[in-house]
């Protein structure tokens, strides 16, 4: 609990990484993203037991490669944190690029802390989502599902990869 409470950017990063899945249109290629947390409420205790927290996060990602290279993604997520593990309870976002726009809904996501020599040194996350709407040069993903993975790369920053299921 102390780690999570003192490192809210890591929780934010988890949120943003969950949104990385928004730029993938072809099952044969993966999209890679560079992301950063853009705002966060510090994790707040739920009050029923030690280490049970709620974290609300926002973030942005830039698609560096893949079908939607150059797209910017903005996202929001809510995480239920139980000590060192977190489960996404809600997540959505919008991806934009000249000539295209889309919306996605995250359907699942989990985060785990990476511990080395008894100390937390990072985090990883994975999950799934659905492109609920897409238009223009991103229209090929409308109605499709995707999977994503992400990992922290520094304070408030993370990298993400996604692909169509």
Looking at residues 98-111, what average pLDDT do you find? Answer: 95
**Residue 64 or 83, more confident:** 64
The runs of H, that is alpha helices, within the chain are 2-6, 8-18
**pTM for this prediction:** 0.78
Task: Mention every residue, 6+ apart, whose C-beta is less than 8 A from residue 136.
Answer: 99, 100, 101
Question: Domain-by-domain residue ranges, the chain?
Answer: 2-164
pLDDT at 29: 64
Helices assigned H by DSSP within 42-107? none
**Mean per-residue pLDDT of the chain:** 83
pLDDT in tens, 139-161: 999 999 999 999 999 888 999 99
Q: Which are the contacts of 148, defined by CB distance < 8 A and separation ≥ 6? A: 17, 18, 20, 21, 125, 126, 127, 128, 129, 160, 161, 162
Instruction: For 27-53, write each residue's pLDDT tens digit.
Output: 346 899 999 999 876 789 999 999 999
CA–CA separation, 147 vs 129, rounded Å? Answer: 6
pLDDT score, position 10: 38
Superfamily of domain 2-164: SO1590-like (2.40.350.10)
């Amino acid at each position: 609990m102390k780690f999570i409470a003192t490192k809210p950017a890591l929780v934010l990063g988890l949120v943003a990484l969950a949104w990385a899945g928004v730029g993938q249109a072809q099952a044969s290629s993966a999209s890679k993203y560079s992301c950063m947390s853009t705002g966060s409420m510090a994790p707040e205790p739920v009050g029923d037991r030690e280490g049970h927290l709620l974290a609300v996060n926002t973030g942005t990602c830039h698609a560096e490669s893949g079908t939607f290279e150059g797209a910017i993604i903005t996202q929001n997520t809510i995480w239920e944190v139980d000590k060192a593990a977190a489960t996404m309870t809600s997540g959505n976002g919008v991806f934009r690029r000249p000539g295209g726009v889309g919306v996605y809904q995250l359907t699942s996501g989990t985060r785990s802390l990476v511990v080395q020599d008894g100390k937390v040194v990072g985090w990883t996350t994975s999950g799934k989502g659905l492109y609920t709407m897409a238009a223009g040069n991103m229209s090929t993903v409308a109605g499709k599902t995707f999977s994503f993975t992400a990992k922290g790369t520094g304070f408030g920053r993370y990298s993400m990869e996604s692909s169509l299921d």
